[in-house]
Amino acid sequence: MATKWLAFFLFFIQVEYLSCCVFDKVSKIRVGNETLKTLYANKNDCLAACYANKECSAVMHYKAVNACTPFTKGEKPINCADDKLECYVLQRDEVDPVCKTFVNF
C-alpha cells in the first residue's frame, strides 16, 4: 500500500512540476513590439498576463516598480544584465526539466 501512495505522490509532483514551468530567465532577449505596458501586483501576475496573451513571447520585468513589458517575437536585442531588470522567455511548446521560474495560475 505504501508503494502505491509513493508512486501516486511522485506522479502528482511530476505532473504539477511540469505543468507550471513555461518561462526561462535569460540575460538577453530578442523581441518585437510591446504588446502592453502596465503595472502588476507582482512578477507572477506579469508572467501570467504574458502567458494568457497568445502573441506574447518574452517579458521584461522592472523589479523596483513591478512594471512589466510583454513583447512579441522579433529581432530587436535587449540586454537584461542590469540588476533592475529580469527578462523571461516564454516556452509554450517546451517542457524544461530544470524549471527556472514557477508560475501558479
Residue 102, in any domain of the structure: no
Q: Quote the cell numbers at residue 20.
A: 507550471
Q: Is the pLDDT of residue 64 over 50?
A: yes
Q: So what's the pLDDT on residue 70?
A: 87
Residue 57, in any domain of the structure: yes
Q: So what's the pLDDT on residue 7?
A: 44
What CATH code is carried by the domain that includes residue 88? 3.50.4.10
Residue 66, in any domain of the structure: yes
Residue 8, in any domain of the structure: no
Q: Is the pLDDT of residue 27 over 60?
A: yes
- The gap between the terminal CA atoms of the chain, to the nearest Å, is 33
Q: So what's the pLDDT on residue 87?
A: 92
Residue 87, in any domain of the structure: yes
Ranking 65-69, 90-94, 99-103 by mean pLDDT, the lowest is 99-103
Residue 105, in any domain of the structure: no
What residues make up the domain containing 38?
23-94
Burial of 41 (0-12, 13-18, 19+ CB in 10 A): exposed
> Each residue of 76-99: pLDDT tens digit?
998 888 888 899 998 877 655 555
Domain count, the chain: 1
Q: Is the pTM of this model over 0.85?
A: no
Residue 99, in any domain of the structure: no
> Each residue of 30-60: pLDDT tens digit?
888 887 667 677 888 888 888 888 888 998 8
Distance (Å, whole) CA 68 – CA 47: 9
